[in-house]
Structure 1
Amino acid sequence: MEDGVAINRAHWDERVAVHVRSAFYNVDGFRRGETDLTPIEAAEIGDIAGLRVAHLQCHFGMDTMYLARRGARVTGLDFSANAVAAARTLAAETGSSAEFVEGNVTDAPRLLGEGLYDLVFTSWGTILWLPDIVRWAEVVAALLKPGGRLYFLDGHPAARALDQAGPEAPILPTYAYFRDTPLVFEGQGSYADRGAAFTHTRTVEWDHPLGAVIGALLAAGMRLTALREHDAAAWQMWPCLVQGADGMWRMPADRPNLPLSVTIEAVKG
């Protein structure tokens, strides 16, 4: 597990500079105040002005700073030193009040403080990089005040079990949904820049069934308050997906829709 985390850290460290320059993230638009959270979390997050927020696995911090723009007192955590450095630079350039800490999710209670947060926020491409979903749920509960809330949005675990060879090919079950071992992938490019070339091309990914995620939260003392499935994702998960005017990717109109992402909300205590 430790080797997998180290492999993934090297992967993410190398991709930060490419992502900061990419059209996918549109950092220039962010600087001008033209961009926001994706439509799903923007509609669901609610009024967070004045709340103390921990943003786990924040990458280079754009979502963290979107939360700060909504009036939250927010701290982002990421295990990539390059990502945290880029986040701090962007925050300084834009006058954001968001703060950033380098470290692993498992160390978040020690690094960020226990029982201090009204909201733990995590979205898009997070828990697949974590080998231990039980520990993740314990971390979420440890960070929150009594009555504090988790907001989680990510790719749907069922969609993660499917894949497509090309835009006209069928979408087929490809990976075991229930699996105790990680998947190892090799490949160039990134969801933010398909043509980018990298040295660190390997990733180690752990898929967690929906029941395992919810079960871990319940075992950690969290109370489930919402479970919402969505027909959209923030990136082109399969070649056939079509990007809408809202920037989200969905199945073509002539194909049945599928659950591409899921929101989980839970309260401590």
Structure 2
Amino acid sequence: MTQPQPPAGYYPDPSGAPQQRFWDGTAWTAQTQPFGPPTAVPTPSGPGTPPGFATPGAPAAAIGSLVGTLLTAAAEQAAHGRTAVQDRGVLGAGQDFYRGHQQTVDTVAGGALLAEGLVGLDKPGSDSRPGIFGALKGVGFGLLLAAISLGIALLSMPKDIPHAVSTSAKVIDVYTSSSTSGGRSCGIRAEYVVDGTTYQVSPGYTSSSLCSKGRGSYVDVKYDPADPGNAEVPESLGMRLIPWGMFALGLVITVVSAVRFVMRAAALGTGGWLLWRGLRSRATPQG
């Protein structure tokens, strides 16, 4: 018994192409057209299915139907967007889009701002783009560096020796310390003679420049003529400026990290508010 053929009309192309082909009631024709809205696409099965029509055993046509529907919807949205821009301008079209998709925009933007505030979207966890905790760490590091550098700078300031007299002192001892990075820092002990009396002096600091001094070499010493034991080994201007430079660097790091912290905090606050508003709007029944 011959099965009845389906009525003439447009059906998904049996070749799987993202289009519809006309069935004249007995055979496929060369007439084609784009897919229309999903509700207009028939999905017949069983008896009456034209030869090559999409069935559960032929997924290619179903995939083509879905792709065609998505492409048609995207084209319609693009055309609508161009029309809106022409009619109301970019700002007006953007406002219209936001009003029509406010829940989605608020939810997505809120989540993105929360992620940016917490870890940074570009390089999560990286110090080059820190979240709020990285910014807070930067503030702490900057303050610590500034405090340590200020202490060193104050300790290395020249003594207030009235009517100081300069003389030469002979280095009698050199001691060296090494850092974990492989650098060396040296300190010395020297002696000088005033009115037949020998005095000893040590700088109140260690420096890589002192490593060039060996036993028997000489360094400049300033002492108080009224109290020859009150003496110091003057530090060069460049060495005295280093801790002050580190202090300034610590302040810069602190300020920059504080600005980052404020920006991340603002992102978290704004993102949390947008996310809450978007989720609340989704949960509220639309009247």
TM-score category, normalised to shorter length: under 0.3
Give the TM-score normalised by the residue count of structure 2: 0.14
TM-score (structure 1 length as normaliser) = 0.15
* Structure ranking higher in helix proportion: 2
More strand by share: 1
Task: Compare CA radii of gyration and give the structure with the larger one.
Answer: 2
